[in-house]
Amino acid sequence: MSVSVFALATALAAIPRQSKAQSESVAQVSPAPAAVASCPVETMDRLFPGPLPMNPYLPPKRASACLIAEHDVIIVLGCPNDRKGKPTTCQKRRVDLAVKLSKSGLGRRFIVTGASVHSPGVEAESLRKLLRQRGVAASAITLEPKARHTDENIYYSTRIMEAAGWVTALVVSDNSGQLFYNALCDSNCCVKKGRLTVAGFPTDGAAGKKLAWVGNYVRYPAAANVSKAECAAIQKPTKFMCVKLAERASCAGRLALPR
């Protein structure tokens, strides 16, 4: 996120909040991944009404029962390594969350995405190493080492999904501010290869009560198209949800990345 968005996230965080290895067997949940794509979701103009930003650090609102089901893949967004190129706390938190979602029956495969941006070492490689340490099979992990920003995480991960025939994904970050203030706009109003919504998904089993903010991503044409009115609603300057949109390199119609 940009410095200005981090500053906003820090301010919002001050608002009072409302009151061994991965198992070989995955909890059985229903419906199947293909059915998740048809689950109804609220449009962004209804989710984020008015001129002011929402607080992404409030307790998550539970996703619908239709969405709490196995997805084709879990996308783990990268964050910087430490100065020596080793895994950091944010990477460990993201991987731990992804593994909990998987153990809850919400996905069996992983895409780890992130280049070497602010520190030595490729972020995706660190995430893959952490997943392997937690018992995830190498065959279940796909490496995406090119993305430098959130929009590129979504773009390159979607290209992988297209090649594999995957339609649905969970998008994981340890920072819900990144999901609300970067990923939503980047995915829905820039990359435009699918619809991303953010909801509370259980991390302690499909019927569990421990929730985390997670992105639910569905590729086109399975997803309902995001309308111009939706993007206009979240692009209001006072919402701070699309502050970097003009600088993104993966936007549809002005793609500046290798195809």
pLDDT value at residue 28: 36
Question: Cα 96 from chain centroid?
Answer: 14
- 148 is a domain residue: yes
In which domain, by residue range, is 147 found? 59-246
More confident residue, 245 or 154: 154
Encoded tokens for 239: 């919402």
- 31 is a domain residue: no
C-alpha pair distances (Å), 245 with each of 128, 164, 184, 230: 29, 28, 11, 15
- 189 is a domain residue: yes
Encoded tokens for 30: 């229903």
- 8 is a domain residue: no
pLDDT, the chain, mean: 88
Sheet architecture: strand order including 194-202: 141-144, 110-113, 73-77, 168-172, 211-219, 194-202
The H or E element containing residue 89 is: helix 89-103
- 259 is a domain residue: no
The H or E element containing residue 249 is: none
Task: Identify the CATH number of the domain in which residue 76 sits.
Answer: 3.40.50.620
Give the residue-averaged pLDDT of 183-203: 97
Q: Classify residue 180 as exposed, middle or buried by CB count within 10 Å of its CB (0-12, 13-18, 19+).
A: buried
pLDDT value at residue 253: 87
pLDDT value at residue 17: 41
Is-contact 162 169, C-beta < 8 A? no
The whole-angstrom separation of Cα 76 and Cα 70 is 16
Domains: count for the chain? 1
pLDDT value at residue 27: 33
pLDDT value at residue 2: 37
Report field, pTM of the whole predicted structure over 0.85: yes
- 65 is a domain residue: yes
- 258 is a domain residue: no
- 66 is a domain residue: yes
